[in-house]
Amino acid sequence: MASTITGASVGLGLSCSTTRKLSQTRNPSSSMLSFCSIKMTVSVEEEKKKRSFTLKKSEEAFSAAKEMMPGGVNSPVRAFKSVGGQPIVIDSVKGSHMRDIDGNEYIDYVGSWGPAIIGHADDEVLAALAETMKKGTSFGAPCLLENVLAEMVIKAVPSIEMVRFVNSGTEACMGVLRLARAYTGREKVIKFEGCYHGHADPFLVKAGSGVATLGLPDSPGVPKAATYETLTAPYNDIAAVENLFENNKGEICAIILEPVVGNAGFIPPKPEFINALRRITKENNALLIFDEVMTGFRLSYGGAQEYFGITPDLTTLGKIIGGGLPVGAYGGRREIMEMVAPAGPMYQAGTLSGNPLAMTAGIHTLKRLQEPGSYEYLDKVTSELVQGIIDAGKKTGHAICGGYIRGMFGFFFTEGPVYNFADAKKSDTAKFARFYQGMLEEGVYFAPSQFEAGFTSLAHTTEDIQKTIAAAEKVLRRI
């Protein structure tokens, strides 16, 4: 189950100290001299690093971007609105690191918002893509690679017997909601406050991700009719869900949720919560939909549903199954999926769906994840990271809590525990902004929002983790 850490004496029982004892020596003065030399070297290196950190080129590029693109970005959270300061413009990525156009290097815990689970720009994936590109980048017709990835997804994910590939998580959630309505003949759907299922009109009600980050109300431009059938409940609140079914008998087609919330920060389910949702949906002839765009192939090879042992009726995927290229998918029981055109009457289509590049990157990413020890390694590095940051926060006098599952994690500047979006909003977001800017200067890149989960990868090393913890303690002392 999820590991939640709320205090120095609670959690994983790991020691993540970043200090080292100097070797004992018979000559005390020699020992002192060695210590002073080390301290002086570190101080010089820190001063040199501080002087060299600049975002001048990023600032120039971003100023130009704002004249051409709304807010200077193509996805809102990238604009650093909630943390302030200058957004960084990236030049290149490799493994667990990224470099901006000013030459600053960062240990990356965003991972392109989840896809980079085996590390950025993996050599095997790049080589496979190069070979595929020789044959073409898009066919607009069936290709054998679609079969290969579809078979891998069906074998891995317990709920999926048939799958439809699309081009984004938003598109996958749009399709799965239309399918749930078509299959059940009902229109109302339950979502949870703070959960984000893309920017389609029916889902922009008490949404997470960029909507939460920017503190926006339900989006202008969404007709009331589009959200009239969307019902909301607090995450982890079984009674609220039961009340919605009681007050809307025979009208609810499905419950859709992030089985582990990542778009309001990292919020795991209470042990009984998902089991209760499975029971309630079956009792009311409604469908249970897991939005695993973020958790799919990250919490385990079979996703959150394999990790928790709960099989939904339908599932959405994205991110990891495209290996860093645009992709999405939805799938589920055969009898439901056969409603999708051309097998059935529910229409959905896409020009670039199943394109050979995304399929190739996805295939080779999943092959890597099949290697023994992959998820154990993710669990190890993530536990060390989270425990280290929480310990550093407590040691320096901050209210902080957090948790992780395998390669997904988060922490909040509040005592916690955090069970839902209302709890998450108690966090000290001003403190997070100061922490964020400090960590950026120390060469660590977290998501620029208190309300986004973080991600580790197979490329993160023990050295990466220890450097991050040391930087966190330094910044936490300063703020």
Task: Point out the catalytic residue in the list 106, 183, 196, 419.
Answer: 196
pLDDT higher than threshold 60 for residue 48: no
pLDDT confidence bin for 5, thresholds 50/70/90 = low
Task: Point out the catalytic residue in the list 291, 313, 379, 464.
Answer: 291
What pLDDT score was predicted for residue 324? 95
Task: Point out the catalytic residue in the list 188, 191, 206, 319.
Answer: 319
What pLDDT score was predicted for residue 44? 47
- For residues 36 and 235, give the distance between their C-alpha atoms in angstroms, rounded to a whole number: 53
Which of these, 213, 215, 454, 407, lies nearest to 301 by C-alpha position?
Answer: 407
Percent above pLDDT 70 for the chain: 87
Average of per-residue pLDDT across 396-406: 98
What pLDDT score was predicted for residue 215? 42
Does the active-site annotation cover 196?
Answer: yes
- For residues 437 and 448, give the distance between their C-alpha atoms in angstroms, rounded to a whole number: 9
> Encoding tokens for residue 456?
């580790």
Prediction pTM value:
0.88
Q: Which residues contact 57 (CB under 8 A, 6 or more apart)?
A: 89, 100, 101, 102
pLDDT higher than threshold 70 for residue 74: yes
The answer to whether the CB of 258 falls within 8 A of the CB of 294 is: yes
Does the active-site annotation cover 319?
Answer: yes
Does the active-site annotation cover 291?
Answer: yes
